Amino acid sequence: MQVIGLIVAALIAAGDQWLKYYIVTNYQVGESHDVLPGLFSFTYVRNNGAAWNVLSGQMWFFYLVSIAAIGVVLYFYFNKKYDHWLFKSGLVFILGGIIGNLIDRLHLKYVIDMIDLDFVRFNIFNLADSAITVGVIMIFCYLLFFEREDD
Q: Which residues are catalytic?
A: 113, 129
DSSP state of 45: E
Which residue, among 81, 58, 65, 32, has the nearest Cα to 132 in the 3D structure? 65
Are the C-beta atoms of residues 17 and 124 closer than 8 Å to each other?
A: no
Rounded to 5°, angle at Cα 21 from 95 and 104? 45
Distance from the Cα of residue 12 to its chain's centroid: 8
Biggest alpha carbon–alpha carbon distance for the chain? 52
Are the C-beta atoms of residues 113 and 42 closer than 8 Å to each other?
A: no
Distance from the Cα of residue 37 to its chain's centroid: 24
Rounded to 5°, angle at Cα 127 from 30 and 26? 40
